[in-house]
Every structure is written in structure tokens, then in C-alpha cells.
Amino acid sequence: MEYTILWIVWLALFVVIEGFALKNKDPGDTLSEHVWKWFSITNKGKWHKVRRIGLVIFLTWLVLHFLTGGWI
């Protein structure tokens, strides 16, 4: 199976899951809310600074990776 089809299926699943989460409107359902929890954005849990720095490093790398065509 071609990877393009798999990526489209993955994105479609994300849209469906996120759509149900947005419709449900319960706290902690959406991907954003999970990221905020996992990386201690909305609270100061144990290791909150390390988690936030990790998120910033990952997102910086991801943006640079996409914008440079994989050079970074």
C-alpha cells in the first residue's frame, strides 16, 4: 500500500476523532487539551519546565524540518 493513502487515512481519522471531541465539549477531549496536559501548559506539575522546553524544541525542529525540505 502506498504511504500517501496511509497518511490520508491517518489525517481522516484525526479529523473524525477531533470532530467528536469538539462536538462532545467535555474537558480534556481535544488534541490541544491533551498536549496542554502532557506538557504542563495549564498547570505547574513536576518537571513542567523540562516538558515545556521539550515541546518548544520539538515544534521548532518540526517547523524547520518542513520549511527546509528535510534539510534539518
Cell of 39: 506538557
The pLDDT score that the predictor gives to residue 6 is 95
Q: What is the mean pLDDT of the chain?
A: 93
Give the residue, 4 or 42, on which the prediction is more confident: 4
22-40 CB burial, b ≥16 within 10 A, e <16? eeeeeeebbeeeeeeeebb
Mean pLDDT within 17-23 = 96
| pTM: predicted TM-score of the whole model, two decimal places | 0.78
Cell of 13: 481519522
Tell me the DSSP string of 18-49: HHHHHHH--TT-SHHHHHHHHTTSSS--TTHH
